[in-house]
Structure 1
Amino acid sequence: MRPDTSRWRADSAYEFMDDAGVDHLAWECLRRNGDYQRDYAALRNASRLDNPLPEPAERRWGLRFRRSATPLRL
């Protein structure tokens, strides 16, 4: 789940942020958080990604999804 950091200095890698809302900015920060990456990996390894987020994780990360999460960009 590690983000590709090979182009971190390329302006084009961040152009999508020019029009991103606060929710997208928050997601970009959260997905780079090592603790969040570990929690996500644990859910993935336990085949829990299709189930509602466990309440402790919901509280810890302030997440509640109305629909399935999709990547901001591919």
Structure 2
Amino acid sequence: MKPNTSRWGDDNSYDFFDSLPIEGLAWECLRRSNSYQRHYLALVRSGAETKPFPTEVQRRWGLRFRGPA
């Protein structure tokens, strides 16, 4: 699962960042994480990628707040 980095240096490739909601910006950053990519690949290999993440895993990747909002 190697990301395509051919246009990462092109400023125009990031114009859409200006209009992203906070969730979209968070996803764009998370999906570039090597640790997250390895974790997701392990889920795919085990056939568990469509199951909900356990709460502790959601917290690990910042998908849930640590305390009350």
| TM tier, smaller | 0.7 to 0.9
Task: Provide structure 1 residue ranges, at least 5 long, that are not aligned to the other structure.
Answer: 65-74
TM-score normalised by L of structure 1: 0.71
C-alpha distance in 2 between matches for 1:59 and 1:25: 17
Q: CA RMSD in A?
A: 1.6
Report runs of 4+ in structure 1 exceeding 3 Å deviation.
Answer: none
Structure 2 residue identity aligned to 1:53: F
Equivalent position of 1:30 in the other structure: 30
Larger RCO (CA within 8 A; separation ≥ 6): 1
Aligned residues: 64
Measured against aligned partners, the alpha-carbon deviations of 1:51-74 in whole angstroms (never above 9, x if no partner) come to 11133322211326xxxxxxxxxx
Task: Provide structure 2 residue ranges, at least 5 long, that are not aligned to the other structure.
Answer: 65-69
CA contact (8 A) 1:43 1:49 kept: yes
Larger radius of gyration: 2
TM-score normalised by L of structure 2: 0.76
